[in-house]
Structure 1
Amino acid sequence: MDKEQILEWLLKGDVSIQYQVYRDLLGTNRKDLQERIAYEGWGKQFLSKRKPNGNWGDRFYQPKWISTHYTLLDLRNLNLSPTHKLVKESIAQVLKTSKAEDGGIQLGPSTSHHSDVCVNGMFLNYASYFNTPEKELQSIVDSLLNEIMPDGGFNCRTTRSGASHSSLHSTISVLEGLWEFQKAGFTYKKDDISTAIKSAEEFMLIHRLFLSDRTGKIIRKDFLKLAYPSRWKYDILRALDYFQKAERKWDKRMDDAVTMILKKRNKEGTWNVQAAHPGKVHFTMEKAGKPSRWNTLRAIRVLRHFERNKN
C-alpha cells in the first residue's frame, strides 16, 4: 500500500484510531471524533463493563487486565474525552479509598504500607489526563520522586526485593506519568519533576532503549516485540512513542531501536501486533500476528516525528 492507502486503512478503524490519525498524522484535532469514543466501538465497550460501584473487574488492581486500573489506562490511551464524568468519578474513588501510607496507590488491602512505582506512574498518567485536581495527586508525585535510583531511573522492585538497578519497565511508566502531569499544566515540584524526567530519559538512552550498557547485548528479547496494549511492560515502540509525544529531538542512541522498528514493517507498509500479554481481557482489540492499526499508527507517528527532528 502507498501512504494514502495506509491512511485510508487506518481511518477504517475504531473511532479512537481515527481521532489519533487526524490529530497526529493529518494535523487536525477532530474533537467530534474524540467525543464519539465514549459512544462507539472500543470506548463504548470498555465503559459498558463499569460496575455500579464504580469499579471494573473485582477491584482496583484485580484481575489483570480487566481491573479498574488497567481499564482506566486503556481509556486514557484511547484518548477518551478528558472530561468524561464516570471515569473522573472512578478515579476520585480510587484516591479516596486506595491511598497507601507512602502516598501512592495501594494494590490491595494487604499492601497498605507500600505502593508500587509502576502503578503510581500509570495512575499519574491517566489521572492527570482526566483532569484530576492537582492537589489530589501531589502525594503520588512525592512518592515517585522519593524512588529515583542512583542510575536515574526507577524500579518497582525496590520495595519488594531491594533492587539496585533501574528497570526499563518501571522507568517508562513513571516517565509517562510525570510527563502527563506536567502537560496538564500542574506546577507542583515542577523543577524536581523536570530533573527526574531528564535523568529517566537519559537512563533509557544510555541503554539505547534495549541494550545492556555494560555488554551491549539485548537486555530482553521481549523488548523487541510490539505488543499492544502495553500494560506495564516495556518495548521499544512504547519508548519511541513516548519520546515523540514529549517532542524530544533525535538522539543517535535511538538509532538501533528505530532500525528494529523499520525491520518489522510488513511489505504492505503496516506493522503487526506481535504479542499479547497473558491475562483476562474485556475484549480483544486486535489479534496477535495480524496487521495492527495501533502499531501502524504509532510507528508512523514515531518515524515522522524523528524525520522532522533529526537536526
Structure 2
Amino acid sequence: MADIADVTEWLLDSDPALRWQVERDLLGEPESVWRATRARVATEGIGARLLALQDDDGQWAGGAFFPADFDFEGPEAAPDAGQPWTATTWSLNSLREWGLDASALAGTAEKIAANSRWEYDDLPYWDGEVDCCINAFTLANGTWLGADVSTLPQWFVDHQMDEGGWNCEWVEGSTRASVYSTLSSIDGILWYEKATGGTPALTAARKKAQEYLLERRILYKVTTGEPVRPGVELLAYPQRSKYNVLHAVNYFRDASLHDGVDPDPRLAEAVEVIRRQRQPDGTWLQGYRYPGRVWFEQDVPVGEPSKWVTFLALRALDWWDSAAPVVES
C-alpha cells in the first residue's frame, strides 16, 4: 500500500473546494491556512464555475427543485433517467457543502424569496413544502444564507414518524420511515444545529432518527436482514441526497463531533465496508455515477481513483480509528 503521505499530496493537488477540507480534517492545519484556501472557492474552480451559472433572479436553471424547462411527462422524467441536478436547491447544496462563504451570495436569499416557488403547489421557497428532504435542504441553505426558515425546525418535530425517521412520501400515504429520507433530514437538521444551536425538541428528534438508522447498523433492514437499499455499499461522489455507507458514516462522524460523544459501536460493520474498498495504492475508487442532468462533472468516472471519495473515506476512518470504540462481540 502506498505511503499515506503520497495520497495526501495527491489530495492536496485539488480544487479549493476539496483542498481546504483536506487541510482542516486530515492534516489539522491552522485555521488561517484552511480558511485562506476556503476563501478561494468563490473565485476558483468548481465553486466559481457554479456561481457564474446563477440566474439574474437568484435561481439556477430557472427553477426551485427542477429546471424551468423540465418536462414532467417526457423522457427525462422516467424513473431511470435520474433527478436533474442543476436547479436552485441542488446548486445551493453544492456551494454550501464546498464551503462557499455566504457573503459571495449576498442578496440571493432575497431574490429567491421574490422569484422562486416550489413545483409542488407553487409554495414560497423559504417556507419549504411537504417533502422532508426538500425541507432539510431548505433549512440548511436558508440558515446559511440568512433567510427566514423559522417554521421548518418545528415541521420536522411535527412530522417525525413513530419509528424515528421520516419519509418523503408521507403525503402520498406512506407510514413507514425511509433511510434515504431520514439521512437527508438529519443532514439538514445537524447543519442547522451547528449554525444556530437548534432547539431541544429538534435535537431530540435528530437523536431519535439516528437511533432509527443505528438499529439497522445503517446497512440492513430490521425485518429481513437484507441491505436497506440496492448499492448501499457503493462509494460515490457527488453524494447528492443518496443513501450509501460513506454518506451515512460521515454524517455520524459529524454528529459525534458536534455532540461530543464517542462513535457508536453499531457502526463497526459499516466502517469496515469502507475500509475494505481501499485500493493497494491507498486510494478509493468512484463506485457509481448518479444519472441526471448536471452543469458539469465534479469528479472522475466510475472505476477511477476519486479524490473526493478518498478524502471522505480517510476522514471517516481517521475519526473511527482515533476513537477506538469498543465493539461488543
When the two structures are superposed, what TM-score results if normalisation uses the length of structure 1?
0.90
Deviation at 1:109, TM superposition (A): 4.5
1:222 and 1:95, CA in 2 relative to 1: closer, same or farther beyond 3 A?
farther
Counterpart residue number, 1:237:
246
- In structure 1, the residue matched to 2:305 is 291
Shift of 1:265: 1.2
The answer to whether the 8 Å contact 1:154/1:166 transfers is: yes
Q: Which moved more, 1:296-305 or 1:284-293?
A: 284-293
The alignment partner of 1:226 has SS state of coil
Separation (CA, whole Å) in 2 of partners of 1:276 and 1:20? 22
1:31 counterpart residue number? 35
CA contact (8 A) 1:154 1:174 kept: yes
- The 10-residue stretch of structure 1 (138-147 or 291-300) with the greater mean CA deviation from structure 2: 138-147
Tell me the equivalent position of 2:52: 48
- Of 220-229 and 275-284, deviating more is 220-229
Aligned to 2:182: 171
Aligned partner of 1:103 in structure 2 is none
Structure 2 CA distance for partners of 1:142 and 1:92, relative to 1, 3 Å: farther
Separation in 2 of the partners of 1:111 and 1:54? Answer: 17
2:221 aligns with 212
1:200 aligns with 2:209: yes
Matched, 1:119 2:134: yes
Among candidates 265, 283, 291, match of residue 270 of structure 1: 283
- Alpha-carbon distance, 1:125 to partner: 2.1
Q: Does the CA-based 8 Å contact 1:11-1:21 persist in structure 2?
A: yes
Q: Which runs of 5+ in 2 are unaligned?
A: 68-83
Give the CA deviation at 1:142: 2.0
Structure 1 residue 181: Cα displacement: 1.0
Give the residue type in structure 2 aligned to 1:220. Answer: R
Alpha-carbon distance, 1:204 to partner: 0.6
SS of the residue aligned with 2:100? coil
Q: 1:141 to 1:94 in 2, by over 3 A?
A: farther
Where does structure 1 lack aligned partners over 5 or more consecutive residues? 100-105
Matches within 5 A, 1:128-147: 128=143, 130-132=144-146, 136-147=148-159
Once the two structures are superposed, residues 32-64 of structure 1 have per-residue CA deviations (whole angstroms, 9 ceiling, x without a partner) of 111111111110111111111111112111132
Number of residue pairs matched by the alignment: 297
C-alpha distance in 1, partners of 2:175/2:7? 45
Distance in structure 2 (CA, Å) of the matches to 1:150 and 1:93: 38
Per the alignment, residue 82 of structure 1 pairs with 102
Mapped partners of 1:222, 1:91: distance in 2: 36
Deviation at 1:96, TM superposition (A): 4.8
2:168 is aligned, of 146, 150, 156, to 156
SS at match of 1:124: helix
**8 A Cα contact 1:152 1:202, kept in partner:** yes
Alignment partner, residue 72 of structure 2: none
Q: For 1:9, give the aligned amino acid.
A: W
Query: How far apart, in 2, do the equivalents of 1:293 and 1:123 lie?
Result: 28
Instruction: Provide the aligned C-alpha RMSD in A.
Output: 1.9
Are the equivalent residues in 1 in contact too, given 2:165–2:182 (CA < 8 A)? yes
CA distance in 2 between counterparts of 1:109 and 1:214 reads 36
- Rounded Cα–Cα distance in structure 2 between residues aligned with 1:259 and 1:221: 18
Summarize the Cα distance change of 1:150–1:212 in structure 2 as closer, same or farther, 3 Å threshold. same
Aligned-pair CA distance for 1:240: 0.7
User: Is the alpha carbon distance of 1:23 and 1:158 closer, same or farther for their aligned partners in structure 2, counting shifts above 3 Å?
Assistant: same
2:111 is aligned with 1:93: yes
Following superposition, the deviation at residue 147 of structure 1 comes to 1.2
Distance 1:60 1:131, change over 3 A: closer
Task: Give the aligned residue type for 2:150.
Answer: Q
- Cα deviation code 1:255-306 (max 9, x no counterpart): 1211111121111111112111111111001122211111111111111111
In structure 2, the partner of 1:69 is 89
**CA deviation after TM superposition for structure 1 residue 219, in Å:** 2.0
Q: CA offsets per residue over residues 111-167 of structure 1, 9 Å max, x none? A: 689521111112222332x2525xx1111112222210000011110012x111111
